[in-house]
């Protein structure tokens, strides 16, 4: 219970001050990857409560702009491919939802400043009000759109919380593949390092899925934006 209250308090503190949370990751001498790796080592020794601690860690990492790739890869070592993928998906979905709500209700000014002048987010904003679920789904599949910042940015758009939440299923293919790659490491000390074992076939699959999704979301957003423009501007 103490673990859950501590983690929940951390999430709340980070969620109410996202700018400070990000700045803390840039502090001199701070190594977020090492911190997350140490947290995974601790979770590995927790036994049955490790799953809860891992999900809470993923939520904190997502809200605080910490590198989730290390946590995702580490899940493959700690829990294996099946359970690791499940726990990552739950943690990423809850963390993304928390960031979305912060962006919508608590930190709109900070988020707007961060995405100001970004053409990708401008295009998403114009299209997501019409086809929210499809746009969220496609951007979750595409590596072009940064996961952590996108969570906050969606809070400024017209997408509903329901469409945003269910659009998270787009994370599943990438989640499973990265957890599998992490499982090949066999040790948390090797996760995210150059010596980590890899599977070229899986890596190419990730690239191909990401490329297809990027093309699809670009074409789809352009089509929706053109349709909206045609309806707005009289002939």
What's the Cα-to-Cα distance from 99 to each of 38, 49, 79, 123, 156, rounded to whole Å?
A: 24, 25, 25, 20, 11
Name which of 128, 130, 139 is nearest 174 in CA terms: 139
Rounded to a whole number, what is the distance in angstroms from the first to the last CA of the chain?
Answer: 64
| 49 or 141, which is more confident | 49
| Secondary structure class of 212 (helix, strand, coil) | helix
Are 66 and 24 in contact, with CB atoms under 8 Å apart? no
Mean pLDDT on 191-200:
56
Phi and psi at 116, nearest 5°, equal -60, 130
Name which of 18, 20, 67 is nearest 39 in CA terms: 67
Q: How confident is the model at residue 196 (pLDDT cuts 50, 70, 90)?
A: low
| 13 or 165, which is more confident | 165
Question: What's the whole-number average pLDDT of the chain?
Answer: 74
* Domains contained in the chain, number: 1
Residue-range definition of the domain harbouring residue 130: 2-232
User: Per-residue pLDDT for 21 more than 50?
Assistant: no
| 14 or 63, which is more confident | 63
How far apart are alpha carbons 202 and 199 in whole angstroms? 5
Name which of 81, 55, 79 is nearest 68 in CA terms: 55
CA 147 to chain centre: 4
């Amino acid at each position: 219970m103490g673990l859950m209250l501590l983690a929940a308090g951390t999430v709340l503190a980070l969620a109410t001050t996202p700018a400070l949370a990000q700045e803390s990751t840039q502090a001199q001498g701070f190594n977020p990857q090492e911190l997350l790796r140490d947290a995974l080592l601790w979770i590995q020794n927790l036994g049955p409560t490790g799953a809860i601690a891992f999900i809470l860690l993923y939520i904190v990492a997502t809200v605080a702009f910490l590198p989730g790739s290390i946590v995702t890869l580490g899940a493959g070592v700690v829990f294996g491919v099946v359970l690791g993928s499940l726990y990552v998906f739950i943690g990423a979905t809850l963390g993304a939802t928390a960031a979305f709500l912060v962006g919508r209700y608590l930190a709109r000014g900070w988020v707007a400043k961060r995405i100001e002048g970004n053409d990708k987010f401008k295009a998403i904003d114009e299209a997501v009000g019409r086809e929210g679920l499809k746009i969220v789904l496609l951007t979750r599949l595409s590596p072009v759109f940064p996961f952590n910042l996108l969570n906050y940015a969606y809070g400024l758009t017209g997408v509903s919380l329901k469409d945003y939440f269910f659009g998270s299923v787009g994370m599943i293919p990438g989640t499973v593949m990265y957890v599998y790659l992490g499982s090949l490491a066999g040790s948390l000390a090797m996760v995210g390092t150059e010596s980590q074992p890899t599977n070229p076939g899986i890596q190419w699959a990730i690239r191909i899925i990401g490329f297809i999704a990027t093309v699809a979301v670009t074409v789809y957003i352009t089509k929706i934006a053109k349709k909206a423009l045609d309806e707005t501007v009289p002939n």
